[in-house]
Amino acid sequence: MTSGTKESPAVQRILSLHFDTPESERLATYTASGGYSACRRAFARPPEDVTEEVKKSGLRGRGGAGFPAGVKWGFIPKNTERPVYLCINADESEPGTFKDRYIMERDPHMLLEGILITCWAIRSHDAYIYIRGEFEDARRVLQAAIDEAYAAGHLGANPCGSGWRIDVTIHRGAGAYICGEETGLLESLEGKKGYPRIKPPFPAVVGLFQSPTIINNVETIACVPWILEHGGEAYARIGVGKSTGTKLWCISGHVARPGVYETPLGVPFRTLLEEYAGGMRHPDRPLKAVIPGGSSVPVLTASEALGVNMDYESLGQLGTMLGSAGVMVIEEGTCMVWALAVITRFYAEESCGQCTPCREGTSWVNDIMWRLERGGATPEDIALVHNLCDNMIGKTICVLADAMVMPAKSFMKKFKPEFDAHIAAGRCPLPQPVRD
Partner 1 sequence: MPETSTKPELLPPAALARLEELARRYPTREALMLPALWMVQREHGWISTEAMQYVAKLLDVSPVRVYGVVSFYHMFHERAPGKYNIQVCQTLSCSLLGAEKLLQHLQDTLGIAHGEVCPNGRFMVQRVECLGACEHAPVCQINDDFVFDLTPAALDAKLAELP
Ligand X SMILES: Cc1cc2nc3c(=O)[nH]c(=O)nc-3n(C[C@H](O)[C@H](O)[C@H](O)COP(=O)(O)O)c2cc1C
Residues that bind ligand SF4 (CB under 6 A): 178, 196, 351-355, 358-359, 396-398, 400-401
Residues 50-79, mask of contacts with ligand X (x by CB under 6 A): -----------xxxxx-x------------
Binding-site member from 326, 368, 370, 396 for partner 1 (CB under 8 A)? 326
Counting contacts by CB under 6 A, is residue 182 touching ligand X?
yes
Task: Name the minimum Å distance from CB 207 to partner 1.
Answer: 13
**20 interacts with, out of partner 1, ligand X, ligand SF4, none, CB within 5 to 8 A per kind:** none
User: Cα Rg for the chain, rounded, in angstroms?
Assistant: 22
To the nearest 10 degrees (0 to 180), the angle between helices 99-106 and 108-122 is 100
Binding-site member from 254, 276, 322, 362 for partner 1 (CB under 8 A)? 254
Task: For the segment 145-174, give every residue that binds partner 1 (CB under 8 A).
Answer: 167, 169, 171-174
Which residue is at the shortest CB distance from ligand X? 61
Nearer to ligand SF4, 255 or 401 (CB): 401
**135 interacts with, out of partner 1, ligand SF4, ligand X, none, CB within 5 to 8 A per kind:** partner 1
| Stretch of 3-11, 19-27, 39-47, 245-253 contacting partner 1, by CB under 8 A | 245-253
Distance CA 250, CA 92 (A): 12
Counting contacts by CB under 6 A, is residue 298 touching ligand X?
no
Which residue is at the shortest CB distance from ligand SF4? 358
Distance CA 166, CA 232 (A): 24
Task: Name the minimum Å distance from CB 409 to ligand SF4.
Answer: 17
Residue pair 226/38 in contact (Cβ under 8 Å)? The answer is: yes
Site residue total, ligand X (CB under 6 A): 24
* Prior bond of 379 cis (ω within 30°): no
Binding-site member from 240, 260, 310, 404 for partner 1 (CB under 8 A)? 260
Residue pair 265/33 in contact (Cβ under 8 Å)? The answer is: no
DSSP for 67-96 reads: -BHHHHHTTSPTT-SS--EEEEEE---STT
Binding-site member from 161, 191, 283, 379 for partner 1 (CB under 8 A)? 191
Q: Which residues, at least 6 apart from 162, have a Cβ–Cβ distance to it below 8 Å?
A: 43, 120
Task: Name the minimum Å distance from CB 360 to ligand SF4.
Answer: 10
**61 interacts with, out of ligand X, ligand SF4, partner 1, none, CB within 5 to 8 A per kind:** ligand X
Distance CA 36, CA 113 (A): 6
Nearer to ligand X, 180 or 266 (CB): 180
Question: Is residue 162 packed enough to be buried (19+ CB in 10 Å), middle (13-18) or exposed (0-12)?
Answer: middle
Distance CA 119, CA 132 (A): 22
Chain Cα centroid distance, residue 403 = 13
